[in-house]
Amino acid sequence: MRNNGLGVWPARRALMSPRNTALVFGERRLSFADVHERTTRLSDRLRAAGVGHGDRVAYLGPNHPAFVETMFATHLLGGVFVPLNFRLAAPEIDYMLAHSGASALIYAPECAPVVRASRRVAELDTVVALTRPDPGEHDYEEWLAGGEATPIDVPVTLDDVATILYTSGTTGRPKGAMLTHGNLVWNCYNLLIGVDVAGDEVTLVSAPLFHVAALNQCLLPTFLKGGTSVIMPSWDTGGCFDLIAEHRVTWMFGVTTMYAELARSPRWAHADLSSVRSLMAGGAAVPPALISTYQERGLTFCQGYGLTETAPGATFLEAGQSRRKAGSAGVPVFFTDVRCVRTDLTDTAPGEPGEIIIQGPNVTPGYWHDPEGTARAFSPGGWFHSGDIAYVDADGHFHIVDRVKDMYISGGENVYPAEVEAAIFEHPAVAEVAVIGVPHEKWGESGRAFVVTAPGATLTLGDLRAFLDGRLARYKIPTRLDLVAELPRTGSSKVMKERLRDLARADGHQGSR
């Protein structure tokens, strides 16, 4: 095979274990042979529609087997897969479609209102709906079935870009992190060394697949090993318990919010979790008390640290250390170097906070169509700057402390205040605005907006949220509004957000949705 990328994984797995179940979705089961045939047919259709090496194909929708098929079909042609966050509003989706230069879009029925509100979708060469296509669009199953199942083999190297994953930028515009086929393969190697993923693994894919963790830390390693991925369309606490029991799930990934909801459920004490071998957490630090709750049930709870740009694994706490080092993000993954440095790039002493920088074959080559952003992200020697603060203990374990940037994480989703502030500033009643992340009992963090209103204007939280609905994804919309006479600023007129954080800490408010 001339294709050395991910596109040939279904064909290789179909040779090795054709009848084994690859994907489970509701009552539907797809074997590796099924995935291979369907991926090949879809790839043939995409090729006939003009998709070739380097062309971008976007997918918009909740978790579904079509996500997986579209990804592998795109890679089979040497194309670039662009998974989009289905929680975003139409203007946000339009920007990503335009910026990536996607020529084709496959979307789920849940996203039909956003697609119809889009100004960009009508300009695409090919639009495919999973169900109920609009005029000019294709029906996914009919379109796929019309493709040829003849093997496709085009040259693809590990250095070719496989995926563009959009991650919010501090300037208010998302950045497209490029991940090569090599980045994804090496990340799988790192994960498979840190986690004993077996050929009989039954992995619950419950986090969104457009996120780097669910896709690259769960689905791809499981597929590579020949295990089964049980796909949840969206997170549901009761549904999670049901699927674990029904399919004898052995492994799952989640964020703090998901694990907290499971532990708070009335089903927790009596749920049958005997099949679960290990749990993996990421996205934000997990409180030690929550980890203990799972360990008391005899469950192995591991967590790690990473970013979209590192595909994502950078550090990992293996099962053997999960109790002794509970709360730490572990040590650097096997084929990757991670350092904690001062501003002069010298290594910090044990216990001394510094910025995390990463180097390795899993690290992005840069941002799509953004050479300046790429240059800013790296220092000499190819070290990627995470913008996150940690300290390393005497045993070499990393402990995440804070973020250099103002980003906060709400329900596992990264939120950058600059983007939110830009949207709020469009409201006619707003003269000045600053947004910070504050603790939230359910979502981990949520936004708190400090607004100086225009003379004579009034503004309520309800007004603001209604204004932002449709402009921003709902998890980005602040849950608290404070009207202030002025914002604290430095001599150079920069807003002093630490003063605002001090205020938030002083009143101890937690937002509510």
**pLDDT, tens only, 68-124:** 999 999 999 999 999 999 989 999 999 999 999 999 999 999 999 999 999 999 999
CATH class of the 408-507 domain in this structure: alpha beta
Could you give phi then psi for residue 487, rounded to 5 degrees? -100, 140
pLDDT band for position 404 (50/70/90)?
A: low
| Pair of tokens at residue 113 | 């209102």
| Pair of tokens at residue 420 | 């939110």
Give the predicted TM-score (pTM) of the model: 0.84
Q: How many helices (H) and strands (E) does the chain have?
A: 16, 27
Q: Is the pLDDT of residue 420 over 80?
A: yes
Q: How far apart are CA 137 and CA 116, in angstroms?
A: 12
Q: Is the pLDDT of residue 509 over 80?
A: no
Tally of CB atoms within 10 A around 396: 13
pLDDT band for position 171 (50/70/90)?
A: very low
Residue 293 DSSP SS3:
helix
CA angle 234, 85, 75 (to 5 degrees): 100
Residue 257 DSSP SS3:
helix
- Percentage of the chain lying above the pLDDT 90 cut: 75
Helical (H) or strand (E) element with 431:
strand 430-440
State whether the Cα torsion 95-100-105-109 is positive or negative.
negative
Angle, to 10 degrees, between the axis of helix 256-264 and the axis of helix 237-247?
A: 80
C-alpha separations of 460 from 76, 265, 361, 431, 474 in Å: 51, 34, 49, 14, 17
Q: How far apart are CA 356 and CA 341, in angstroms?
A: 7
Q: Is 34 exposed, middle or buried (0-12, 13-18, 19+ CB in 10 A)?
A: buried
**pLDDT, tens only, 240-263:** 999 999 999 999 998 877 888 898
